[in-house]
Amino acid sequence: MKHFKIVIAFLGILSIFIAGCFNPISSEEQIINVQKRIGDGYKYENFKEINDRKQVQ
């Protein structure tokens, strides 16, 4: 019984690890929008858009 619990725990941890490493959206384009603050308020404007795959990663 003790070994059965250890095997179940190991399989659970292994399945969580595998699910976390699986990346199904790797083919989608990734974009980062950089904004800068205007004045003293909470207003922002788009400053730069980064869509180069090496810079985004």
Model confidence over 1-40: pLDDT tens digits?
A: 888 999 999 999 999 888 877 766 655 667 888 899 988 8
In degrees rounded to 5, what are phi and psi of residue 43? -105, 135
Domain count of the chain?
1
pLDDT at residue 57 above 70?
Answer: no
Residue 6 pLDDT: 93
Q: 0.85 cut: is pTM over it?
A: no
CB 31 within 8 A of CB 49: yes
Residue 10 pLDDT: 95
Query: What value does the mean pLDDT take over residues 42-52?
Result: 86
Residues 47 and 35: their CA atoms lie apart, in Å, by 5
Q: Can you give the residue range of the structural domain that contains 19?
A: 2-56
